[in-house]
Structure 1
Amino acid sequence: MKKVAILWSSPNTDGLTASAKDEIMRGLTDAGTEVEEIHLNIKKLEHCRACGNGWGTCNKTGACVIKDDFAEIYRTISEADGIVWISAVYWSDMTECFKAFFDRLRRCDAAHNQFLAEKRCVLVACAGGTGRGTLECLQQFERGLVHMGMRTYDRISVGRYNREYILPALYAAGKTYADRLENGFDMYY
């Protein structure tokens, strides 16, 4: 059985982002995938301090000097077969909570560990306003994943105006992602 980590961030536990997370998670579990849900907003996560000369020890050791929940989350996603990244969209970007985690992850993984290289991921951006910022948010996610050598399998934009047909599509996306993790991806890169 494959294992997928779902990282999501929104302070609203019953809003659009939570609904998107629930649907993709339901698709994954219905397909027989083990899922580990990580709600970043309830974790203790500090921002990168850019220690030392600006690069810190993370690029030499692959570990962050800050003692919070980062190391546990990093271990969980490193051990997963796949990762689903879901964020509410603020100012055309992922949440500040997600950025705090993502910046530290990129420093530890891209420069030293490369535990996440070649992992296939699904990206989901959820905007409750106009929805205009979802594409930029997905682009920011993907830029960071490229630095770490991960591969994006799907990019899904969710807005309040498309939620009625996108939420069921997220269920199907979860099932399809589970199948691809088990049976292989039909994509070249």
Structure 2
Amino acid sequence: MAIMVVWSSPNKDGLTAAAKDKIMKGILNAGYEAEEIHLNQMKMEHCKACGKGWGICRTKGQCIINDDFAAVYEKLVQADGIVFVSAVYWHDITECMKAFMDRLRRCEAAHNKYLAGRRCLLVACAGGTGLGTVECLHNMEETLKHMGMRAYDRLPVIRYNEGYMLPALEKAGETYAIRLAEGFDMQY
């Protein structure tokens, strides 16, 4: 079983990276594969809203932009589970994550539906005051809902709680992997 951990932060040594590492360690502790996808290290353009607002994403489920999007999308389609980890900017996900999720949503919701029913884990990390983590998690989940995906859990990490949340993320990654393997399902 393979789980993709998609994360976004320009800081490879910050709170978001530490959260990603703990989630991955938990998945590996459970005996499953974990692969990280660091969006900040990829070439990922913003949606161009081709044509009259829709391009071939609506008719063919593909994007015309030639960058790393298609390869990452294929990895998510092949994965058994997906974890999204984002730094919090202005009460929302990072611009890199937003660019990726916007294009993913267009291909998925309008045509493909390859990820519909996929169960995900969501993590938002705020290194400043911590304000905005709940809104960020809400925004991530709303985007997933457009694609028919579901969140198993939503985990806010801030400077105040990192001492107990980082160890909890390791357990969350382990539990997520085990529940996916067991076929655990939450309906909503």
TM range (shorter): over 0.9
Partner residue of 2:68? 69
- Alpha-carbon distance between aligned partners in 2 of 1:56 and 1:113, rounded to the nearest angstrom: 14
Q: How many residues align?
A: 188
Which runs of structure 2 are paired with 1:32-71 in the superposition (5 Å)? 32-71=31-70
For 1:186 and 1:6, the matched residues in 2 are separated by 20
Q: What is the match of residue 13 of structure 1?
A: 12
Residue 86 (str. 1) matches residue 85 (str. 2): yes
Secondary structure at the counterpart of residue 49 of structure 2 = coil
After TM superposition, give the deviation of residue 76 of structure 1 in Å.
0.2
Q: Does 1:132 align with 2:131?
A: yes
Distance in 1 separating the partners of 2:60 and 2:132: 35
Distance in 2 between residues matched to 1:66 and 1:186, nearest whole Å: 35
Q: TM-score, normalised by structure 2?
A: 0.98
What's the Cα RMSD here? 0.7
Amino acid at match of 1:118: G
Q: Which deviates further from its counterpart, 52-61 or 39-48?
A: 52-61
Q: Percent identity?
A: 64
- Following superposition, which runs of at least 4 residues in structure 1 exceed 3 angstroms of deviation? none
Instruction: Determine the structure 2 residue equivalent to 1:103.
Output: 102
- One-letter amino acid of the structure 1 residue matched with residue 83 of structure 2: V
CA distance 1:102–1:186, change in 2 (3 Å): closer
Letter in 2 for 1:125: A
Instruction: State the distance in 1 between where 2:56 and 2:159 align.
Output: 42
For 2:148 and 2:123, the matched residues in 1 are separated by: 19
Listed as ranges, the gaps of 5+ residues in structure 2 are none
Alpha-carbon deviation of 1:161? 0.6
**How big is the shift at 1:166?**
0.1
- Residue 184 (structure 1) shift: 2.1
